Structure 1
Amino acid sequence: MRVVIAGGGIGGLATALSLHAAGFEDVVVCEAAGEIRPLGVGINLLPHAVRELTELGLAERLAEIGVATGELAYFNRYGRPIWSEPRGLGAGYGWPQYSVHRGRLQMLLLEAVTERLGAQAVRTGSRVVSTGPRPGSGADGLRIGTGDLRIEADDLLVGADGIHSAVRAHLFPGEGPPPWNGLVLWRGTTYGEPFLTGRSMIMAGDGTRKFVAYPIETGERTLINWIAERPLDGEAPARGDWNRPADPRRIVEHFADWRFDWLDVPGIISGAEAAYEYPMVDRDPLPYWTSGNVTLLGDAAHAMYPIGSNGASQAIIDARVLAHSLAHGDLAAYETARRPVTTALQLSNRRMGPEVVMKLAHERAPDGFDDIERVVPLAERAEIAASYKRTAGFDPVSLNERPSWSVTR
């Protein structure tokens, strides 16, 4: 069986590597862009995703490009601590958590695919086109590029082509643009001084406005990845486009007085060489992912709000479960294992996931607090964090004890 993967992003490339590790040799990745380049800014890879990349033999390469996250900490709008917890190995996981540049991770995966499957396994300039959406017809009515690669009846087409997936649109015509919740994200990177532990990921906010920062490069200089978020008046531009340029001078106006004794938020925003604007959008959960010889993966299947560091991580897990299921001749097992989990996660992220502690702290103490225990008790904060880990599949004990999805060849 040949597997054709639509999309050369993190999910698509991880799928190719997972299939190869499971014994599939005839795998083709079709990427719409004419060239795969290291675009984007920072992302986080949670321990359950790092486990999968480790079992694919990429642990050393990943450690070279990532910063091992040591702490996750939440603060209110005034920089007062709400909740903090160790992450990665320090939290008892068998694998680290990494903060990494999205583009560097994508290039790492591309390099591994080329080494293991050959350069011919990745075709750029090959966009999936729907010539007549017919739900329930599988790949019938889909073509790739100019038709030089034909999807045959015995092929499996994996739609890993992102939030604007042509494969998803073929299965679910008329879905429309991604729904928007009224918030806009601005993202950028800035060289600056280390803060807190030097490997901390922080989130500060009031339930409406939010600022996130974490290092994605350390050494002589620290490269800080940051995200600023607030409501946007009017209609959201370019829904689903991560690379829309924004002016840092406009962004800093909304966070001008967010100066803490441990972090200068306006200074970080102002110091960015480039920034990008992204309306907070996702996709509604689907009733199914698979139709005939077509299935969905990653954002094409379950695009979710960028909350809890789960977007890329869940795509990597999809890839591993799909390869394991196909190796055992049971494609249906992939969707059975993954769709309920990601649906619950999509809905949890719409409720702000673990970040809801910032909203609760603001609602109960809008002018700040001296003692967080009087505002959001420890037991409540701890359960919010633990519940999200269970939902997303990275509860430490469960993850450490779960059997591997590797396939013995």
Structure 2
Amino acid sequence: MPSLSNQPKFIIVGAGIGGLTTALTLHAAGFSNIQIFEASHQLTTLGVGINVQPSAVLILRNLGLLDALEQTGIKTEELNFYNRHGNPILSEPRGVSAGYAVPQFSIHRGEFQMLLLAAVKERLGEACLHLNHALTSFEQNDLSITARFARRGSDLALPAELSEVVADVLIAADGINSTARRLLYPNEGPPRFSGRMLWRGCLEREPYLTGASMVWAGHADQKFIAYPISQRSATRGKSLVNWIAELRVRAKHDPDLTPPKTDWTKTVNKSVFAGPFETWRCGGLEMKDLIAQTEKVFEFPMSDRDPVKRWTYGRLTLLGDAAHAMYPIGSNGASQAIIDAETLARHLADSSNDLLSALKLYEQDRLPATAKIVMANRANGPDHVLQLAEERAPDGFTNVYDVIPKDELEGIGRAYKAVAGFEMDSVNAKAKETNTLAGKLGLTSPRDWV
């Protein structure tokens, strides 16, 4: 790789999971001239729980981050599906317990973001991150791309510290409400609302089931999800449980797909949603107790976007939710952003003398694959087992195989894993091939994290 002065310059818009992982994968591929621009004026441990699938954990392992992940998140052991009456539908081992060479992690989104940020600052230097820089526009020519930034919100009247930046490539990882995507697709409009609202919270309590179990209960229009997300709590004999209550709030065939206005940083009154879950019990959990004992609850409209035909326009490409926002079904959104980052860095390293071709090859690899996941998630993905149980036995059952044959039940999960790209054989083969990669690159977890 050439010296810094001769290297291509990369602008990453967005310092979320996708943007930070992109910076790390580019660095691991030998690039160093990387600048990250984030619209927020500070980065904190906001958010609740997410899952990172083995296919993405493998990429993070190869970036030297496995130790930090193990000290932060929970190595998920199993996923249990129940109907709304608490009858067990299916139990699947997950991660290492299922035979993967690397774990699945359930982890606090904010802590995961801070872990990635610590690695970025250690490897690329703190000066690579520019907060309070909201992308406003861009223009490009045969030689470069220019991004323009302003301060966010009430500060928009004030110029950003770096109001104009010239680079070779602009990677837009600026989320479901991406400015870059809006500039490329000005007629697209807001995200597409599913008609379902999510209420999310975290509660530290006694462990349930294995202490590393995920619980999925209900059906398409009313669902409850819970899983532990903190190794720090586990070392104290406790379980920090991330929970999600989901309800349909708009008719299924309502033509209005505009999401309701919400502020996910503000708490909501639990009476808005708690009633329908009053009698729900499964997996050693009583949903009413989880809700009642949680101090702060946040509201999220469950939304996605239609797949588009292109992500890459010359020197600009989209990544993560900016490219393929999807319903949080299948525990897969963050994982796909991480896979995007690894794929993009690999193509750029392989074609560093032809960056535009590299961006198109990245698009060719990832756009069709993620479009399939977006549509699979709209069809309920692996959660379809819940809907089948509800439709075929709305009053409950004694034996699930009387309702859904074993082969049909297990086939739903297998089909989704194939679509989502985390089939165990392919993940394990890649894990074996890259087992020593982090060591060869000298990559280790951030010093102030472990």
TM-score > 0.5, shorter chain as reference? yes
1:14 aligns with 2:21: yes
The structural deviation recorded for 1:242 is 3.9
Which letter does structure 2 place at the counterpart of 1:59? Answer: L
The structural deviation recorded for 1:151 is 3.8
For 1:75 and 1:137, locate their aligned partners in 2 and report how far apart those are by CA, in whole Å.
Answer: 56
8 Å contact from structure 2 (residues 82, 282) kept in 1: no
Counterpart in the other structure of 2:241: 224
Counterpart in the other structure of 1:382: 410
Secondary structure at the counterpart of residue 120 of structure 1: helix
1:28-107 map, 5 Å: 28-107=35-114
Flag the 1:365–1:177 CA change in 2: closer, same or farther, 3 A.
same
Of residues 112-121 and 210-219 in structure 1, the stretch that sits farther from structure 2 once superposed is 210-219
1:187 aligns with 2:194: no
For 2:124 and 2:23, locate their aligned partners in 1 and report how far apart those are by CA, in whole Å.
Answer: 8
Counterpart in the other structure of 1:332: 360
For 1:140 and 1:50, locate their aligned partners in 2 and report how far apart those are by CA, in whole Å.
Answer: 32
Flag the 1:212–1:139 CA change in 2: closer, same or farther, 3 A.
farther
Counterpart in the other structure of 2:164: 150
1:330-369 map, 5 Å: 330-369=358-397
Match of 1:111 among 107, 114, 118: 118
TM-score normalised to structure 2 length: 0.86
Of residues 248-257 and 114-123 in structure 1, the stretch that sits farther from structure 2 once superposed is 248-257
Of residues 300-309 and 183-192 in structure 1, the stretch that sits farther from structure 2 once superposed is 183-192
The structural deviation recorded for 1:144 is 2.1
1:393 aligns with 2:393: no
Which letter does structure 2 place at the counterpart of 1:124? Answer: L
Counterpart in the other structure of 1:130: 137
Counterpart in the other structure of 1:237: 260
Counterpart in the other structure of 1:264: 286
8 Å contact from structure 1 (residues 42, 225) kept in 2: yes
Unmatched 5+ residue regions in structure 1? Answer: none
Match of 2:268 among 235, 246, 253: 246
The structural deviation recorded for 1:139 is 8.3
Which letter does structure 2 place at the counterpart of 1:344? Answer: K
Unmatched 5+ residue regions in structure 2? Answer: 1-7, 151-158, 252-257, 352-357, 442-450
The structural deviation recorded for 1:251 is 2.5
The structural deviation recorded for 1:12 is 0.3
Secondary structure at the counterpart of residue 182 of structure 2: helix
Secondary structure at the counterpart of residue 5 of structure 1: strand
Secondary structure at the counterpart of residue 391 of structure 2: helix
8 Å contact from structure 2 (residues 259, 303) kept in 1: no
CA RMSD of aligned residues (A): 2.2
Which letter does structure 2 place at the counterpart of 1:292? Answer: G
1:207 aligns with 2:214: no
For 1:58 and 1:378, locate their aligned partners in 2 and report how far apart those are by CA, in whole Å.
Answer: 38
For 1:139 and 1:180, locate their aligned partners in 2 and report how far apart those are by CA, in whole Å.
Answer: 37
1:255 aligns with 2:277: yes
Which letter does structure 2 place at the counterpart of 1:237? Answer: P
Counterpart in the other structure of 2:156: none
Secondary structure at the counterpart of residue 341 of structure 1: helix
Identity across matched positions, percent: 46
Counterpart in the other structure of 2:444: none
Flag the 1:4–1:298 CA change in 2: closer, same or farther, 3 A.
same
Which letter does structure 1 place at the counterpart of 2:60? Answer: L
For 1:63 and 1:404, locate their aligned partners in 2 and report how far apart those are by CA, in whole Å.
Answer: 19
Which letter does structure 1 place at the counterpart of 2:373? Answer: L
For 2:57 and 2:146, locate their aligned partners in 1 and report how far apart those are by CA, in whole Å.
Answer: 37
Flag the 1:183–1:86 CA change in 2: closer, same or farther, 3 A.
same
Number of residues of Structure 1 aligned to a counterpart in Structure 2: 405
Secondary structure at the counterpart of residue 312 of structure 2: coil
Which letter does structure 1 place at the counterpart of 2:244? Answer: I
For 2:69 and 2:114, locate their aligned partners in 1 and report how far apart those are by CA, in whole Å.
Answer: 11
Secondary structure at the counterpart of residue 245 of structure 1: coil
Secondary structure at the counterpart of residue 187 of structure 1: strand
1:298-324 per-residue CA deviation (whole Å, 9 max, x = no partner) reads 000000000011111110111111100
8 Å contact from structure 1 (residues 151, 157) kept in 2: no
For 1:203 and 1:80, locate their aligned partners in 2 and report how far apart those are by CA, in whole Å.
Answer: 11
